Amino acid sequence: MALLGVTEDTEFEISTDGIKLTLEPVVAPGKVSDDEKLQKAYEKIIKKHAPALKKLAEDKKQKIFDEFLEEYDEDLRKLTKD
């Protein structure tokens, strides 16, 4: 259990794809570590830099979308033409 980073109190989410059974530990949103110093450092960084991180994420999504459109523009035009 220590190797997996779980204890006997750890809650698990159980799911299946019809073939495999998957057990995943339930992690509280925003929790990255059981180490208190590391967790506090993470929270401080997120609090201080949240607007910049959100902007970077939006810019990245827009870039990916633009690249997709460039690559598949002709195919999309053919599909919407009919």
HEC sequence for 58-78: HHHHHHHHHHHHHHHHHHHHH
Mean pLDDT score of the chain: 85
pLDDT tier for residue 82 given thresholds of 50, 70 and 90? low
Overall average pLDDT of the 2-31 stretch: 86
Q: Write the DSSP assignment of 3-33 as a string of letters.
A: TTT--TT--EEEEE-SS-EEEEE---TT---
Overall average pLDDT of the 10-35 stretch: 87
Q: Are 43 and 30 in contact (CB under 8 A)?
A: yes
The predicted pLDDT at position 20 comes to 93
The predicted pLDDT at position 77 comes to 74
The tens digit of pLDDT for each residue in 63-77 reads 888 888 888 787 777
Q: What is the pTM of this model?
A: 0.44
> How far does Cα 51 stand from its chain's mean position?
17
Q: Does residue 18 come out as left (phi exceeding 0), alpha (psi in the -120 to 50 range) or beta?
A: left
Overall average pLDDT of the 20-33 stretch: 84
